[in-house]
Structure 1
Amino acid sequence: MINKLILLFFFTLQIAVAQNLDIIIIVKDFETDLPIDEVTITAIKTKQGFLTNAEGKAILHLTKPSDLEFVHSSYRTYIVKFSTLNKKENVVYLEPVTQQLEEVILTREHPQEILKQLVEKSKSQLTIPINLKIYLREFYKKNDKMVYFNDGLLNFQVLGNVKNVKSDILVEQNRAVGLLDADIDANLLGYDLNNIIENYYQFNYLDEVLTNRAKKNYDFQVKTYLPNDAYLRIRIVPLDEVKGILSEFNVVYDTEKRLIMEITSVVTPSRLDEWKAAFLSSSKVFKLEFRNVFRMEDGIYYLANSKEVIGFEKKYKKQNRRIEVRNHMVVTNFDKKLFEYDSHNIFKDKSLINKKTMVFSNYWDNDSGLLATAEEKAVIDYLSKTDDSD
């Protein structure tokens, strides 16, 4: 008997096929004419979300005509009228902002105190319950060579409250190609999907800069945010004299709503060199890069997309292995109304790694919101052949 989740999927698929308006977008830098990746594109009427790839390209499957908003932390926010998107490939140019023009804002309160207030306000304002329709993909490297790939369309039914966020995961479709070594702990390869939304909605990645000790380890500054005059940016940088694997943070927030709109963090190359020395013989996981983008739409405050890159070195048979995982999540749509589902349909594993492939359509091209580049497609095709041959 076909379960409710499969019926729901085919019903929504039929509606989408009937109503889709396909638009190809290529986003470029106005000054250099180079493509811009990781631009958040939002269809203002339909609330659909998309993300440009490394080629600056996105294919939009709109359910109805809509103007588009383009957001990137290094470029001015830009809105494009739907009526102008009438070419086979529509090139959109964004105006870069110059970081040197930023101004430091003097505040009565310490910037960390402002950040603490923003975190609490943002937690309380995140819309719960909500269904987040998410495209997730992960690339795996071993010793700088791509060895595995998986992706899927998932529904995260976000439940609970500000103090206890929970999520039920329902997988619509998924695929996995490539081979993983049996000696690598599967728990380290990928992200725990059953707490990833909880971590994002609790802003757990900011914990290290919210402690009292953080004031001694980091320099906090509030700065203007050139892409959007309604926002400010809190820049958090580890002090040079403080050693350790510490991240640099940027937190962008809406000054009127007092809500966090973007969080990014990165470990600099110099501190990564410290990591190599410190963890040469261990399998300790660390965060290399992290980004969360949030949006407010008609009173609904939600996660729009995320990226994480983690890496670790593991000694195996007296040889060091460098493992790297790159994870993207794109919220392609959302709804405050949750759909009904049976408990046995809930995905309870930590990762899609071991989930059997289940494909009904070319969702990676039609419904992902994040198009693979030509290079990525070649990698996926190669891994598929490698997988099939064994």
Structure 2
Amino acid sequence: MKRKILLFLLFLGPFVFSQSREIKIIVIDIDTQTPVDEVTITALKTRQGFLTNAEGIANFVLDKPSDLEFSHSSYKEIIVKSATLNQKLNIVYLESKTQQLEEVVLTKEHPQEILKELVENSIRKITVPANLKVYLREFYKKNDEYVFFNDGLLNFQILGDYKNLKTDILVEQNRTIGLLEGDIDPDVLGYNLNNIIENYYQFRYLGEVLDQKALKLYDFQVKSYPLNQDLLIIKVVPYLESKGVLSDFQVLYNTKKKIILEVSAVISQVRLKLIEELSHNRNKVFKLSFKNTFNDDKGFYYLANSKEIIGFSKKIKNEYNKIEVLNNMVVTNFDKKPFKYNDNNIFKDKTLINKKSTVFTNYWDFESGLVPTTEEKTILDLLDVKN
């Protein structure tokens, strides 16, 4: 009987197991021949998600053959069939939009009003309830030296509706490397895993430019997006004379569906210099940026990936120290239906900082959707030695 079962499995083997395939890609700018990082890769059939690293590389296991969509706000979107990616290292070229100038678009409504409508409509269109399988990683630096790293595979169970979102987090695997000193307080870092999806799905990071007072602080403009006529960009930049920690915002949106596809913000070097001159030796921000990318796929609208960087000075034992945190989230799988789970398994802490490592597989190599670069691997090895 065992022999018959074995023969049956051997017979079915090619049909059952050949669907899943390991693929390695490097994305290159066709003009400069340089790697392109932060390219969102979406398997349209399986809704798996991946992101190229700083070397332009993405390694992943594809569940089944699928068209792969490559998108980046600075490049022309392309679709590649997975069946054509059959080399050990597959090169995919993207065409940059840098040669094509953006033009200011005149609108009947003030750009801020357009932005408000976009936010309201996008919130209503977000697909909930849903399950997002997410790879999360965080690098911590103190005084320009890496001191700690953590990452993990998490399931964000998004419940309720757009008016009342609730997120339950379940941790599949996680690891911590290095030593995190007690003076890096999670409360100071400015984010909380238990409400981060709500913040992203409610577009709360845009709050400061939606307020009426923002009209006096910021210049609002709508600009063309040369690579796609259905898309436009809203740029919101603080006036030079405006005071405070103010960011440059950019929102890429679909004009027909009236939904946001990407929202980002960064404090410019000019403003950082102004902040430094005014703050002297007080606690101050020296780096702050974020970017959220959303997928719009066959009626499903959901977060694809996010990146946040915060750097600030903090007085510790009468000395000012530079603290910097880089946070990446990649949605590796999307499912309309959350799965069943025990309430005892819900993760309730703000970060993975203090969670004991639980590792079953080398998930960071092919399940993460964001593989570490050569430099990052070196950093992790050094942190491991120090630990």
Superposition TM-score, scaled by structure 1 size: 0.92
How far the C-alpha of 1:243 sits from its partner, in A, is 2.0
Q: 3-state DSSP class of the match of 1:197?
A: helix
**Matching residue of 2:332:** 332
Q: 3-state DSSP class of the match of 1:270?
A: helix
Which deviates more from structure 2 when the two are superposed, residues 175-184 or residues 275-284? Answer: 275-284
Residue identity in the other structure for 2:171: V
Q: What do the CA deviations read for 1:146-181 (whole angstroms, capped 9, x no partner)?
A: 110000000000112222221000000000011112
Find out whether 1:254 has 2:244 as its counterpart: no
Aligned-pair identity in percent equals 61
Change (3 A) 1:281 1:355: farther
Does the Cα contact within 8 Å between 1:280 and 1:320 map onto a contact in 2?
Answer: no
Does the Cα contact within 8 Å between 1:293 and 1:304 map onto a contact in 2?
Answer: yes
Residue identity in the other structure for 1:330: V
**Matching residue of 2:351:** 351
**Matching residue of 2:75:** 75
How far the C-alpha of 1:281 sits from its partner, in A, is 5.0
> Cα RMSD between the aligned structures?
1.7
**Matching residue of 1:108:** 108
Which deviates more from structure 2 when the two are superposed, residues 243-252 or residues 159-168? Answer: 159-168
Q: Distance in 1 between matches of 2:56 and 2:313?
A: 32
Residue identity in the other structure for 2:77: T
Change (3 A) 1:309 1:280: farther
Change (3 A) 1:110 1:333: same
Q: Distance in 1 between matches of 2:141 and 2:188?
A: 13
Larger Rg: 2
Which deviates more from structure 2 when the two are superposed, residues 243-252 or residues 50-59? Answer: 243-252
**Matching residue of 2:121:** 121
Does the Cα contact within 8 Å between 1:284 and 1:313 map onto a contact in 2?
Answer: yes
Superposition TM-score, scaled by structure 2 size: 0.92
Change (3 A) 1:277 1:18: farther
Q: 3-state DSSP class of the match of 1:83?
A: helix
**Matching residue of 2:55:** 55
Q: Distance in 2 between matches of 1:265 and 1:99?
A: 23
How far the C-alpha of 1:189 sits from its partner, in A, is 4.3
Does the Cα contact within 8 Å between 2:160 and 2:166 map onto a contact in 1?
Answer: yes
Unaligned ranges ≥5, structure 2: 1-15
Change (3 A) 1:99 1:312: farther
Q: Distance in 2 between matches of 1:278 and 1:170?
A: 44
Q: 3-state DSSP class of the match of 1:113?
A: helix
Q: Distance in 2 between matches of 1:338 and 1:259?
A: 24
Q: Distance in 2 between matches of 1:362 and 1:227?
A: 38
Q: Distance in 2 between matches of 1:149 and 1:362?
A: 16
Does the Cα contact within 8 Å between 1:147 and 1:180 map onto a contact in 2?
Answer: yes
Q: Distance in 1 between matches of 2:183 and 2:215?
A: 41
Matched residue pairs, number? 372
Change (3 A) 1:297 1:32: same
Q: What do the CA deviations read for 1:283-321 (whole angstroms, capped 9, x no partner)?
A: 566871110001111211100000000111111222110
How far the C-alpha of 1:47 sits from its partner, in A, is 1.2
Does the Cα contact within 8 Å between 1:37 and 1:52 map onto a contact in 2?
Answer: yes
Q: 3-state DSSP class of the match of 2:134?
A: strand
Does the Cα contact within 8 Å between 2:260 and 2:294 map onto a contact in 1?
Answer: yes
